[in-house]
Amino acid sequence: MGHEVRLIAPKFVKPYVKNQKNDMADAEAIAEAGSRPTMRFVEVKTPQQQGLGMIFRLRDLLVGQRTQVINALRGHLAEFGLVTGKGRENVDKLRAILEPGAGSDDLPAVVCQMAQLCFDQIDGLS
């Protein structure tokens, strides 16, 4: 149809938004921004570049999930008096404390079972 497709980074369009966010206001801002002679456009990413970006985003997700599980485990075990420092390196200390015969005999069995589930998930995310 004679139209050239070009990508505009959202941060370059934002100054042209006048109203609340909706489709019509977005379209108006994009049309206004695209008609400017000094507008900077961005390149379309290749599938290879998109794949590499996915690797980095997925890694961040997995690291965040591991941190959440570690913090949850530390919080739950702190309720039973088992306190340890932050970080992945202290998970092994908790694991050693919860080994059968290592002084965790007074803990309910369900606590040790749930902790083991957390340890398995942490190992899977590491």
37-85 pLDDT, tens digit each: 887 888 888 999 999 999 999 999 999 999 999 999 999 999 998 888 8
The Cα–Cα gap between 76 and 114 comes to 10
Contact yes or no for 91/70 (Cβ under 8 A): yes
Q: What is the pLDDT of residue 2?
A: 75
Domain ranges of the chain: 1-44, 47-125
Cβ neighbours of 32 (radius 10 Å): 15
CA angle (126 as vertex; 73, 122 as ends), nearest 5: 20
93-126 pLDDT, tens digit each: 888 888 877 666 788 889 989 999 999 999 998 8
Q: Which residues pair with 42 in a beta bridge?
A: 7
